Chain A
Amino acid sequence: MYPRSFEYVSPGSLDEATSVLASTEGAKVLAGGMSLLPLMKLRLFSPDVLVDIGRIPGLSSIEDRGDHLAIGAMVRHADTASDSLIGEHAAALATAASWTGDVQVRNQGTTCGAIAHADIAADQPSAALALGATMVAASAGGVREIAASEFFVDTLTTALEQGEILTEVRIPKQGGGSAYEKLGRRGGHTDYAVAGAAVWLDVSNGAVSSARVALTGVGAKPTLAEGVVEALVGTDGSDAAIAEASERALEGVTVLDDLFGTVEYKAHLAKVMTRRALQQAVAAAR
């Protein structure tokens, strides 16, 4: 309940923040704090320095940049969930955000924070992955872009390097339709996911022309289900085609068990959630 002592820095600009991060060993970025602070309170994680990016101007907006949407580092889950642009172009992410935590957590926690934290049971990372997002990381050395498919490395581990801040998540405006489905730990859509699936796909001339499917909660990280896409693209997106494709959800994934699901159960759930999300995405894309 009581974090260890640390030094607190509240920079007024991104440059200042990256320079503090570059010059301070053991510094950690604080955004909404919904993942970080509980870990610190339980003393499972105790950084020496916290760099609070909450007061840096310009990080709280969701912008339409023509070919993509840009979600700033301090955009809260609640904003992601209710924003009309995201609802239109990235429904999977809006849904995932609306099922993240509870009202208070959504009011304070950030989409970028959830993605950077990369908890395997969190909803938004796989949504970002399925939507083909691009992560923008800033450091004292400059800014770089990381494809979502390269971003998630392992449990609670991303491609962000020490000194980098995830300043923005970019979602391409790519047409088609997307959806997110999950089974939550208390059942329904509640709480962290036992397993979930995010889907983006496009339909042309009555056939699924392209797709991305990403899984929540089953492996060590949010994972693309390539086998599903291989099976689905080119089909008519019928329930039968979806059901068949969903069976390939676990290809290449090592399923891990936890308190809320055995390997067998999670593997099964991943297929069920994939099927359900695909059905919704096909309906949305048509």
Chain B
Amino acid sequence: MGGGVGVSTTSVLGGVVKRREDPALIRGTGLYVDDLQLPGMLHVAFVRSPYAHARVVSVDASDAEAMDGVRAVYTAGDVAHLGDLVAQVPVGKVRPLLAGDKVNHLGEAVAMVVADTRYGARDAADAVDVEYDPLDPVIDLKEAASDAALVHDDMESNVLLAWEGGPWGDEEGIAATQQTIADAKAQDDTVSVSIEAVNQRLLPMPMEPRSVVADWNVGYGRFTVHSSTQIAHALAGGIAQTFGLSLTDVRCIAPEVGGGFGCKLNVYNDEILVCFASQQLGRPVKFTETRRDAAGSTIHGRGWVATATITGTRDGQILGYELDGIADMGAYSQNFTVAIPFLGLFVGAGQYEFPTHWKVACVHTHTMTTDAYRGAGRPEAAYYLERAIDAFAREIGVDPADVRRKNFIPAEKFPGAATHIGFPMDTGDYETNLDALLETAGYEDLKAERDRMRAEGRLVGLGLATYVEVCGFGPSALVDLGFSWASYKIPSGFNGSGLVRVQADGTASVIIGTGPSGQGHQTTWAQIVSNQLGIPVENIRVSHGDTAESPLGIGTFGSRSAAVDGSATYEAANKVRSKAADLAAHLLEASADDIVFADGGAHVAGSPDQQVSWSDIATLAYQPHRLPEGMEGGLEAHAVFSPGNATWPFGSHLALVEVDGDTGDVKLLRYIAMDDCGNVINPMIVDGQIHGGLAQGIGQAMFEDGDYEADGNLLKWSFVEYPLPTSADLPSFELHRTVTPTDINPLGVKGIGEAGTIGSAQTVVNAVVDALSPLGVTHVDMPLRPKRVWAAIQAAKTNGSVS
């Protein structure tokens, strides 16, 4: 990488470095929140609503309060002065900390019990007597959107807003797009194909249940809160805001976080409530959710129903794409909630260039809140688009790869290309990527093999899908569109930060404002800094997650950490390098311009035998009396990186499946992915992110279903009813990449956390529909559980060929 002084001879960017975080995790010595035991610590259990919608007639906690070891039972009235839960985008009804006179979803917290032990807290929670008067719930999305019955009777409509484009926010432009598509439909030589599909609700289910320990020190006037949060700074800000404290009065620490996938971005009511209890009781208070708690009170994802329509000519030219959908927000808004479909709007037209009218309405229902779950709006958008394109290709009898290729935004439009809503994109070369996939996979051979197997009577299918993702948020100016944590007391733009400090012994500490939940920041950031300074990776330690020591960062989500906070750290390292060059020049009696960093130290270009070590340089930095006049002591730098745009990774995926026609059982035989996330810092980590992303997209396609019953019951309380894919259910994945660096940041990286998920569900479903197409099946809703696939086969057999 260029920039700064001299040229590094050690390049660790783009290379595999074994993870710095692993030794603790494989020995079982990594600290997760629930591992924490503080003296005098109390435990929390919640009393939760067994109804989707009910009036709370009374809460009688007298039996619970009388039990041994019970310290307190709190209800809504006790915390009314704290207001509602903090929300970044407080549109609609924001969640109360505890339900008052009504409960609005199954699992909503009605009372909080604090007791000496976990077991005792649960015993007492069971002893709290709540009398409910059940009411009819609003669960169905179309019913909710019709306002036939209101979710909240003090609101005028269940519909909070609709995200519509493109272009976005331009009514005349939208009308013109609609007219263009209507005109295309009216042409004699065009075909319109529609699919109505459910993009079902999902439960994020990181393996670590959420956990929080709050400790109020009355003498210091300060909270110390350990939480399994994805954004320690947002939690600190949310607590400060709620309790009327300053940001310096709340220290949040996110130690090891056992997966998040978006669900740990939210500040949760339980996190605020344990703070309240700690303040009231003068003791540390812990809440660790059970998996059952998690199902009903940690945010859910997806939950859309929509109709996608493609209109085009019989030779595959697409003249219009329409999406008309409803997205389920649940009963209350929390962090991003209504903003999630907005992310889908950005990429509504994917990699393609055709008139697109995209509209998704956000509605309240009597269900748990939805919010960011891996991909967040973008998997839904990609799903509908790519399903519809496949249906169109099948209808006109053109190879789905050819239809896609014909409609791509051409590579020569970059830079300068924009999405259908008029938002500029960074870089892209979609045709090269697709062609690379097809060639690597041997697409023509695979098709021949499929056809041969079909001739034997087997139900074999190939599925193709492409995606473009918006991530690496950025731009900083998103705050001007209303997205910031101002309501959390941290009015930060979508920027990143990094602090690099060379210690007196020549090792380096890197302190970042964003923290991982498995993405390997300690390794990747060490590589970035090592690359700029030449300090070996093993001499660099990366710290994160403690708001008392780290610069403000808005977290790891939206595949943004490396692109934004990584770039900030890169720039901080360059500042350090610049100063170190001055220091080395002083030691070597040379000009800073001639200093080269290599082999764990520095020398004058052309004189590698006269090397000063980083320890020599640092020693000088910390003995300022030896420095030349006017030079400051110390060797550290902080940088804030303000991206001018988001980043736009893309890719194309291919799946081969076989369906057992007797049982509907789907077997995923091969999965081949060609992703493009720009430059790659650590290929091992990047591939790992794709693997995990694929498993979650495939999980949605084949296994996971968080939809409620019509009566508002969520029958999926555990992994018994909500099966996650296991090792036995997935194949090994075949990963490949093209590299189209972004010009938005100095690292050229785009982000990879969500790409696998965004690209995969529709790939699998397209493959299964392809497998069943000889029977006349054109659509099966996810998840592709055997019962559903079998029912689709039966329906097709009964109805004859379905067009």
Contacts and interface: CB of A to CB of B under 8 A. Distances in A.
Interface of A: 1-5, 42-43, 183, 185-188, 190-192, 194, 259-262, 264-265, 268-269, 272
Contacts of A43: 122, 126
B224 to A, nearest CB: 26
Nearest to A190: B728
Contact of B787 (A4, A5, A42, A261): A261
Contacts of A190: 726, 728-729
B703 interface: yes
A268 B715 contact: no
Given A186-B726, A187-B786, A194-B786, 4 more contacts: A4-B126, A188-B665, A188-B728, A259-B715
A262 B723 contact: no
B185 interface: no
Nearest to A275: B662
A51 to B, nearest CB: 21
Nearest to A273: B663
B662 A272 contact: yes
Contacts of B720: 192
Residue with the highest number of chain A CB atoms closer than 10 Å, among B702, B785, B786: B786
B790 A187 contact: no
Interface string B716-741: 00101101011011000000000000
Given A183-B665, A187-B665, A190-B728, A268 B786 contact: no
Nearest to B293: A1
Nearest to A261: B787
Nearest to A43: B126
Contacts of B666: 187
B715 to A, nearest CB: 6
Contacts of A185: 723
A260 B665 contact: no
Contacts of A1: 118, 122, 290-292
A4 B785 CA distance: 36
Contacts of A183: 663, 665, 786
Contacts of B662: 272
Contacts of B786: 183, 187, 194, 265
A contact face: mostly helix, strand, loop, or mixed: loop
Contacts of B290: 1
Given A187-B665, A268-B790, A259 B721 contact: yes
B292 A42 contact: yes
B257 to A, nearest CB: 20
A68 B663 CA distance: 35
Contacts of B791: 262, 264-265
B123 A265 contact: no
B787 A194 contact: yes
A190 B728 CA distance: 8
Interface in B763-803: 785-787, 790-791, 794
B667 interface: yes
Interface of B: 118-119, 122-123, 126, 290-292, 662-667, 702-703, 715, 718, 720-721, 723, 725-726, 728-729, 785-787, 790-791, 794
A284 B723 CA distance: 34
Contacts of B721: 259
A272 B357 CA distance: 46
A70 B718 CA distance: 36
Given A43-B126, A187-B665, A188-B665, A2 B118 contact: yes
19 contacts: A1-B122, A1-B292, A2-B123, A43-B126, A183-B663, A186-B703, A186-B723, A186-B726, A187-B702, A187-B729, A187-B786, A188-B665, A188-B728, A190-B726, A194-B786, A194-B787, A264-B794, A265-B664, A265-B791
B729 A4 contact: no
A2 B119 CA distance: 6
Given A190-B729, A259-B721, A272 B785 contact: no
Nearest to B791: A265
B667 to A, nearest CB: 7
Residue with the highest number of chain B CB atoms closer than 10 Å, among A1, A4, A187, A190: A187
B609 to A, nearest CB: 60
Given A186-B726, A187-B729, A260 B787 contact: yes
Nearest to A186: B723
B800 to A, nearest CB: 19
A100 to B, nearest CB: 14
Contacts of A188: 665, 667, 728-729
Contacts of B664: 265
B12 to A, nearest CB: 39
B118 A269 contact: no
Nearest to A191: B723
A91 to B, nearest CB: 22
A88 B703 CA distance: 36
Residue with the highest number of chain A CB atoms closer than 10 Å, among B721, B729, B787: B787
B723 to A, nearest CB: 5
Contacts of A3: 119
A183 B665 CA distance: 8
A269 B666 CA distance: 15
B663 A272 contact: yes
Nearest to B664: A265
B613 to A, nearest CB: 51
A166 B667 CA distance: 39
Residue with the highest number of chain B CB atoms closer than 10 Å, among A183, A260, A262, A264: A183
A268 B663 CA distance: 8
Nearest to A257: B787
A185 B704 CA distance: 12
Contacts of B726: 186, 190
A269 B729 contact: no
A204 B664 CA distance: 36
B664 to A, nearest CB: 8
Contact of B790 (A2, A4, A186, A265): A265
Q: Which 5 A-B pairs have the closest CB atoms?
A: A1-B290, A2-B122, A2-B119, A187-B665, A265-B787
Residue with the highest number of chain A CB atoms closer than 10 Å, among B726, B785, B794: B785
Contacts of A262: 787, 791
B663 A4 contact: no
Nearest to B122: A2
A193 to B, nearest CB: 12
Nearest to B120: A2
B787 to A, nearest CB: 5
A105 to B, nearest CB: 12
Nearest to B715: A259
A265 B291 CA distance: 30
